[in-house]
Structure 1
């Protein structure tokens, strides 16, 4: 599956975050996903998608919705995961709905968008600038399909479904960090993984939950200009290892910078940072699928 890099701006009666939904809908439909709902007639624009999975025979349900408040000057997206689709149901009343907020902008948004058969990743540069992103769809589980049939993750940037937060708010953090060492099932961070019992739970992520690798005393760095990509492994202290993000990797921030690109084994990667943070542990790389 391919990727797309570009920007959107306000125009034609729509703000930039609303235009972002149009881009995702068009790109997904052109690359094997099914658009189940695209409604731009309401105050909150809605997009619900079905992915075919890597096998081409699966049904993976995810969505995006806009929410904004001109008085508070925020113009955001909601990232959502579902277990099915009912046409008559409201967005947040879809089966098994789990929602997380993502700050965006009413003005120009530069974006990096990539998908394959089972997941979609969107990174955005907004505002001052800062970098926001989301992950929707399956992870790569450490289990057979019959053992873990629906390992869907919803990664946003805000801890609640539609937090009233602007991109300039300084405490929010990226889904890629997991629960950052907090207890399993924590209600704090912005990543949720669906479990076989039907619950969406917070999970930690390696290497961010490894004190040795992320300590300021131990700077993970390149080797003669070569930057290793470390898989981001979802885990907790209760049940162990669940799997890893598909196409997302930890990368050192040592002598590195956001928007840098890498070519490894013929594949392209782009470096992203956690909102405004620029420490050596604040970077991750997204594979831009060919």
Structure 2
């Protein structure tokens, strides 16, 4: 595991810092987990450049691909980063032309200085950026699957924050724009074992209230942050995994600190739902990311749990009790 924090002068500088951290960070290099740039300029990146990077996994034997570029719209005051995953690679194709490419994901930024945190290992990277009082974030790479590599060889997740796309200003408050601990519509996609990218969404509609429509129009959702406002069964036939009351997963409303004063961390688990997906299954957990209660908590807190430091991050502009996650740093 490796991480760094600092200040980027603008979105293009952050683009460079992400690439440089993943490819040259000393801790990643020493562990054999640094990412390799496969396509694109190797010098200082400028707006208009596209790159493709490959992650080696934790043993150096994986091939985890993603592409990235910057987007700008002066008329919308939007200065953002766009990224995507793909399950195959050809050095004869441009980054955006790779086969088995995921839908695009976006991190909403601006063209002014901003504080950032990058956290990575050979399997995945996570990004947090403070833009004014809003916290943008992203997850890109493998999750930890509940399956053997032969059963689920490419468990990739790409998650940004913007429902409305790369031309969106950082200050948008659309109810579907959310962080990856509780994704909104079109803000998280997972590569399923049957080699198809599918939507994972906890929230579907555009309401900015605390109780928008549950995200069952995605093929999956993230537990425990999915909000159920009526009876919900994961299986269409209601014989697979059932929740016997509307409060069965509402741990995020009432959770507080543990009796010993430490914070309560929950794995962020991606669950496939046969309502819209191909089958019922617990797919896996996000690597190094957890839900954490918002009571007596705030963004940028460093929470030590079992001797491990975690960075606390809020859900964009939201700061309610349910709107925080913790990212493992060490």
Question: Are positions 1:167 and 2:202 aligned together?
Answer: no
User: Does structure 2 retain, via aligned residues, the 8 Å contact 1:35–1:47?
Assistant: yes
Secondary structure in structure 2 of the residue aligned to 1:176:
coil
- Distance in 1, matches of 2:23 and 2:135, equals 26
Which of residues 223, 229, 233 in structure 2 aligns to 1:206? Answer: 223
Secondary structure in structure 2 of the residue aligned to 1:177:
coil
Higher relative contact order by CA 8 Å / sep ≥ 6: 1 or 2? 1
How far off is 1:198 after superposition? Answer: 2.0
Partner of 1:62: 66
Give the TM-score taking structure 2 as reference length.
0.78
How far off is 1:42 after superposition? Answer: 6.2
Partner of 2:262: 226
Partner of 1:95: 99
Partner of 1:197: 194
How far off is 1:283 after superposition? Answer: 0.2
User: Does structure 1 retain, via aligned residues, the 8 Å contact 2:16–2:45?
Assistant: no
How far off is 1:163 after superposition? Answer: 3.4
User: Does structure 2 retain, via aligned residues, the 8 Å contact 1:25–1:38?
Assistant: no
How far off is 1:266 after superposition? Answer: 2.9
How far off is 1:219 after superposition? Answer: 2.1
- Distance in 2, matches of 1:205 and 1:150, equals 19
Gaps of at least 5 residues in structure 2 are: 29-33, 200-219, 229-246, 275-279
97 and 163 in structure 1: CA distance in 2 versus 1, 3 angstrom threshold: same
Secondary structure in structure 2 of the residue aligned to 1:163:
coil
How far off is 1:43 after superposition? Answer: 4.0
Gaps of at least 5 residues in structure 1 are: 10-15, 180-187
User: Does structure 2 retain, via aligned residues, the 8 Å contact 1:175–1:189?
Assistant: no
Secondary structure in structure 1 of the residue aligned to 2:181:
helix
User: Does structure 2 retain, via aligned residues, the 8 Å contact 1:253–1:283?
Assistant: yes
Count of residue correspondences: 272
Structure number with bigger Rg: 2
How far off is 1:66 after superposition? Answer: 0.6
- Distance in 2, matches of 1:97 and 1:159, equals 18
49 and 190 in structure 1: CA distance in 2 versus 1, 3 angstrom threshold: same
Partner of 1:19: 13
Partner of 2:49: 45
* Aligned counterparts, 1:1-290, within 5 A: 1-9=1-9, 16-30=10-24, 31=28, 32-39=34-41, 43-98=47-102, 99-127=104-132, 129-159=133-163, 162-171=165-174, 172-178=177-183, 188-202=185-199, 203-209=220-226, 211=228, 212=247, 213-214=249-250, 218-224=253-259, 225-238=261-274, 239-288=280-329, 290=330
User: Does structure 2 retain, via aligned residues, the 8 Å contact 1:214–1:281?
Assistant: no
Partner of 2:205: none
TM-superposition CA deviations, 1:189-245 (whole Å, max 9, x none) = 3000001222111220000125435488x4211125311110000003321210000
Q: Give me the CA root mean square deviation.
A: 1.9
State which drifts further: 265-274 or 251-260. Answer: 265-274
- Distance in 2, matches of 1:173 and 1:44, equals 26
- Distance in 2, matches of 1:96 and 1:76, equals 24
